[in-house]
């Protein structure tokens, strides 16, 4: 077997998806190829790490600001380049009317719900804040928040237990034969303490 094929089969091997014949062929190759053994170890570590990866990413405030600035510049460029169509020339008028109506509806809603006029000064004086705290508060959040959707996507709604138990399902073979695997020895001695071969899963 060539290294290229061995590497193609490695992910399936880590997941226990390889047929016994292919697994034997791969093991035969691994016994003779140190580079592929290292590659297999890396693949295993990577898949294990992926499994435990949190679903949120820390983004620095500086990077976020720079990205937003680029997006704004790109949008401005795009707007300049786009030719104004005939109907677009009349667009600002209804858009302005619509925006005014929306603000009025919102303001009426707030007054009716809270009894407070938006924009009116607050009764209690605002607490004094340190300049550094204020700067910190103005900075955008550094983590991308996780948000549970109001309605789960169709796939998730169809079989939620698939996703609840996904790590177990991913490691089904290992968890099914957990005890037999734990009693396996790593030297060349027989697999189980009483000298029996490990049970086959059929």
Partner 1 sequence: MRRGAAIAVVLLALAAPAARAQERHGRPWQELSPEEQWRAWENYQRYQQLPEERQKMLERRYQQFRAMPPQERQRLRQNWDTYRGLPPRQRQEFMDKYHRWKGRK
Instruction: Map tokens 């237990």 to a residue.
Output: 161
Nearer to partner 1 by C-beta: 35 or 181? 181
Nearest approach, Cβ of residue 179 and partner 1 (Å):
8
- Judged by CB under 8 A, which of 16, 22, 25, 39 binds partner 1? 16
| Core vs surface per residue 74-97: b (16+ CB within 10 A) or e | eeeeeeeeeeeeeeeeeeeeeeee
- Judged by CB under 8 A, which of 82, 123, 145, 186 binds partner 1? 186
Choose the binding region for partner 1 from 83-91, 118-126, 127-135, 143-151 (rule: CB under 8 A): 143-151
CA proximity to 171, closest of 54, 50, 8, 1: 50
| Core vs surface per residue 114-152: b (16+ CB within 10 A) or e | eeeeeeeeeeeeeeeeeeeeeeeeeeeeeeeeeeeeeee
Nearest approach, Cβ of residue 19 and partner 1 (Å):
11
161 binds partner 1 (CB under 8 A): yes
130 binds partner 1 (CB under 8 A): no
Binding track, positions 23-62, relative to partner 1; x by CB under 8 A: xx--x----------------x---x-x--x-x-------
- Judged by CB under 8 A, which of 63, 74, 172, 196 binds partner 1? 172
CA proximity to 118, closest of 128, 129, 130, 108: 108
19 binds partner 1 (CB under 8 A): no
Instruction: Map tokens 């169509």 to a residue.
Output: 85
- Sequence-distant contacts of 112-119: CB under 8 A, at least 24 apart: none
Nearest approach, Cβ of residue 171 and partner 1 (Å):
7
Nearer to partner 1 by C-beta: 115 or 202? 202
Between CA 118 and CA 131 the distance in angstroms is 26
Length of the chain: 202
Contact residues for partner 1 (CB under 8 A)? 13, 15-17, 20, 23-24, 27, 44, 48, 50, 53, 55, 146, 148-149, 152-153, 155-182, 184-186, 191, 197-198, 200-201
């Amino acid at each position: 077997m060539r290294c290229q094929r061995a590497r193609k089969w490695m992910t399936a091997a880590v997941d226990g998806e390889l047929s016994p014949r292919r697994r034997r062929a791969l093991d035969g190759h691994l016994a003779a190829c140190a580079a592929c053994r290292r590659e297999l170890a890396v693949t295993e570590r990577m898949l294990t790490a992926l499994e435990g990866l949190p679903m949120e990413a820390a983004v620095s405030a500086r990077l976020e600001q720079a990205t937003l600035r680029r997006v704004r510049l790109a949008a401005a460029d795009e707007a300049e380049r786009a030719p104004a169509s005939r109907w677009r020339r009349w667009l600002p008028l209804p858009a302005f009317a619509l925006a005014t109506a929306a603000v009025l509806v919102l303001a009426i809603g707030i007054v009716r719900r809270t009894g407070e006029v938006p924009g009116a000064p607050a009764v209690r004086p605002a607490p004094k804040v340190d300049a550094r705290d204020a700067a910190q508060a103005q900075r955008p959040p550094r983590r991308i928040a996780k948000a549970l959707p109001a309605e789960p996507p169709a796939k998730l709604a169809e079989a939620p237990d698939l996703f609840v138990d996904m790590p177990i399902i991913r490691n089904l073979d290992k968890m099914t034969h957990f005890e037999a695997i734990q009693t396996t020895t790593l030297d060349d001695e027989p697999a189980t303490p009483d000298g029996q071969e490990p049970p086959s899963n059929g």
